Amino acid sequence: MWSSSGDNIHLLVTSRDLTMIGSLFEEDTRLDIRATDEDINAYIAIKLSRGRLSRHIRGRDDLHDAILTGVAKKAKGIFLLAGLHMDLLAQTTNPKILREVPGKLPEMMTSAYDRTLARVDNQGVYDRDLAYRVYSWVAFPKRPLTVLELRYALAVGPGTKALEPDNLFDGDLLGSVCAGLVITESAFGQEKGPIMGFVRKRRLSASSTHTR
């Protein structure tokens, strides 16, 4: 919080914990806002109740508690980090692997991004290329895009003269190929809702994005 009593100006700046931004406000009042342990635990519990993870932990309260404790400890109150970790755990193929992974999870956001992008790169060629096309649109827009706008944008390219309905991508697919780095609301039928993108621009090289 920065204020100027002479001009009666009060400025509140909110940001992720980025060194570049924090250095601009070193002498100003700072308030760190993080999710509570209860919120993080509730989020992890919901993720554990779905899909493959629910089958891995069925009848295994000790495994459920170990995952809950391990992921919450690594996330350190950051929902995005918890989400990336849970997306990775959802790829495990048996309870033994699931039990071993939490101890290897990174505690730094940068490492989590790198690991997630590595998973994206290891997808099939079509999923990988689609993911990076989505990243380029979400990371570099003049304003946040809606799911519907993104679907239309991805459906056109050089030489396109008319929109072909068969060339539209499913909204759920756009979120899944991005491995948690992009969240869409299409699953809730809200194609006009905003897209939340967590891709760091500096991690998208010119060679991996598509020129528009």
Task: Please give the chain's pLDDT, 212 residues, in tens.
Answer: 555 555 677 888 887 766 777 788 888 888 877 788 899 999 999 999 999 999 999 999 999 999 999 999 999 888 888 988 998 999 899 999 999 999 999 888 888 888 888 999 999 999 999 999 998 888 877 887 888 899 999 998 888 888 889 999 998 888 889 888 886 554 434 444 455 555 544 444 433 444 33
Cα end-to-end distance, the chain, whole Å: 38
Cβ proximity of 74 and 81 under 8 Å: yes
79-89 vs 37-48: helix crossing angle, rounded to 10: 20
Helix (H) or strand (E) holding 197: strand 196-197
Cβ proximity of 175 and 101 under 8 Å: no
d(CA 168, CA 174): 11
CA distances from 163 to 66, 86, 92 (A): 50, 37, 39
φ, ψ (nearest 5 deg) of residue 16: -65, 165
Every domain of the chain and the residues it spans:
37-114, 123-208
Q: What angle do CA 52, 55, 56 make, to 5 degrees?
A: 90
Stated pTM of the model: 0.64
> Residue 96, class by beta-carbon neighbours within 10 Å (0-12 exposed, 13-18 middle, 19+ buried)?
exposed
